Amino acid sequence: MNTKTTHKTKLSLALGPVLYYWPRETLLDFYRQVRHWPVDIVYLGEVVCAKRRSLGYDDWLSIAHSLKKSGKKVYISTLTLLEAGSELGLLRRICKNREFLIEANDLAAVYRLSREKVSFVTGPAINIYNAHTLKKLVSLGLQRWVLPLELGATELASIRDAVPTVATEIFAWGRLPLAWSARCYTARAENRSKDECKMACDADPDGRLMYTLDDVPFLVLNGIQIQSALTQNLAPHVADIRRYGVDVLRLSPQSRDMDAVVACFDRIRCSRVPNTDDLATLETLASIGTCEGYWRGKAGFVPPAVVEARL
């Protein structure tokens, strides 16, 4: 690691956008609770599928105002995959708002925001794989970037050393969004077309778990998005994360025990060495287990048969 990387006295905590399809009252209740959680930043909005309309744009703004009053810094997140003119219309509306900053999740949003001369954050789906790309986006108004999920500590150090002045955020907790498609995986699993999906994803508040032929949890279907089955947990690496000059830890919402996840990370970020009790607790709060291979430059998922062969 290059010694030019900086030390952060206290990492900020960010609550990422809800990636799943939750009912309206579930979302409203969730964000009423978030007002009292020790998170500094909250991302709001639909980022996966435009058909998910349990909350509309005005509803999101109302939640944003409430969270702002409680002391949170609020960002409005944009869709990751734009497919229709109506979605572009909503994107323009989001980008023209002057009260809340924007998380751009595709380059259409980056283009609109740069035209509006509005500062923005890039989400993990924006492919920033080198310092040249990061510098270009900074010239367009980028103020903070989220490290792409498949990159790790080595790549982060290289990019940070070349562009040390821009703030950095990492995806520290949650199932990893790995891919998006114009087709809906969940609808397909129900033998339905995307246009006639009947909101199949509403039955899966944390996505639909898929297994290999050997009955090993492998991937999660979440509408048009594919996620990892395991939950990424970078809490054990917080000391190294500080040394790499990271500013923000992002926690991706899950339907159960999210308050406990936030509480553990809050204590961990305030300590130079993570408490072993908190680390053990986090392992129990993941749906089926945790992973952190990408951070270490390793495979994101290693099947049990491969592990046994190596032993």
Q: Beta strand 142-146 with 120-122: parallel, antiparallel or unpaired?
A: parallel
Angstrom distances, CA of residue 62 to CA of 55, 81, 99, 105, 288: 10, 24, 12, 22, 34
Question: For 203-232, what is the mean pLDDT?
Answer: 95
Residue 203 burial by CB count (10 A; 0-12/13-18/19+): exposed, middle or buried? Answer: exposed
Query: If you average pLDDT over residues 105-127, what whole number do you get?
Result: 95
Size (the chain), residues: 311
Taking a C-beta distance cutoff of 8 angstroms, is the pair 250, 14 a contact?
yes
Contact between 300 and 291 (Cβ < 8 Å): yes
Cβ atoms of residues 126 and 148 within 8 Å: yes
What does the pLDDT look like over 151-210, one tens digit per residue?
999 999 999 999 999 999 999 999 999 999 999 999 999 999 998 999 999 999 999 999
- So what's the pLDDT on residue 304? 58
Q: 175: Cβ–Cβ under 8 A, 6 or more apart, which residues? A: 19, 206, 207, 220, 227, 228, 229, 230, 231, 232, 252, 254, 287
Q: For position 10, what pLDDT does the model report?
A: 80
Return the DSSP state at 164. T
Does position 298 have pLDDT exceeding 50, yes or no?
A: yes
pLDDT tens, residue by residue, 27-47: 999 999 999 999 999 999 999
Q: Report the pLDDT averaged over residues 125-129.
A: 96
| Domain 12-176+228-310: top CATH class | alpha beta
pLDDT at residue 308 in the model: 46
What ranges do the domains of the chain cover? 12-176+228-310
